[in-house]
Amino acid sequence: MFKEEIIAKTMQYAKDTLGGEGSGHDWWHIERVWNNAKHIAEKEGITDTYVIELAALLHDIADWKFHNGDEEAGPRTARTWLESLEVEEENIDHVTDIIRKLSFKGAQVTTTMPTKEGMIVQDADRLDAIGAIGIARTFTYGGHKGREMYNPNIPPVMHNSFEAYKSNQSHTLNHFYEKLFLLKERMNTEAAKHIAEQRHHYMETFVQQFLSEWEGKA
Q: Which residues bind ligand ADP (CB under 6 A)?
A: 24, 63, 103-104, 125, 129, 134, 137-138, 141-142, 168, 172, 175
Nearest approach in angstroms of CB 38 to ligand ADP is 18
Nearest approach in angstroms of CB 48 to ligand ADP is 24
Handedness of CA 117, 189, 125, 168 (dihedral sign): positive
CB nearer to Ni ion: pick between 66 and 214 = 66
Phi/psi of residue 210, nearest 5 degrees: -55, -45
Select from 27, 36, 60, 123 the one that contacts Ni ion (CB under 5 A).
Answer: 60
Q: Of the ranges 4-12, 15-23, 54-62, 159-167, which one interacts with Ni ion (CB under 5 A)? A: 54-62
CB nearer to Ni ion: pick between 26 and 44 = 26
Nearest approach in angstroms of CB 17 to ligand ADP is 15
Which one of Ni ion, ligand ADP, none is in contact with 138 (Cβ closer than 5 to 8 A by kind)?
ligand ADP
Which one of Ni ion, ligand ADP, none is in contact with 187 (Cβ closer than 5 to 8 A by kind)?
none
CA dist 205 to 40, 67, 118, 142, 211, Å? 26, 34, 31, 20, 10
Which one of ligand ADP, Ni ion, none is in contact with 40 (Cβ closer than 5 to 8 A by kind)?
none
CB nearer to ligand ADP: pick between 137 and 200 = 137
Subset of residues 109 to 168 that bind Ni ion, contact rule: CB under 5 A: 125
CB nearer to ligand ADP: pick between 6 and 95 = 95
Contact pattern for Ni ion over residues 27 through 46, marking x by CB under 5 A: --------------------
| Cβ-Cβ contacts under 8 Å for 135 (sequence gap 6 or more) | 203, 206
Query: Which DSSP string corresponds to 118-187?
Result: HHHHHHHHHHTTSHHHHHHHHHHHHHHTT--S--TTS-----SSHHHHHH----HHHHHHHTGGGSGGG-
Which one of ligand ADP, Ni ion, none is in contact with 129 (Cβ closer than 5 to 8 A by kind)?
ligand ADP
- Give dist(CA 181, CA 177) in Å, integer: 6
- Please tell me whether residue 74 adopts helix, strand or coil conformation: helix
Q: Which amino acid is at 36?
A: N
Q: Which amino acid is at 49?
A: T
- Give dist(CA 113, CA 50) in Å, integer: 18
Positions touching Ni ion (CB under 5 A) are 60, 125
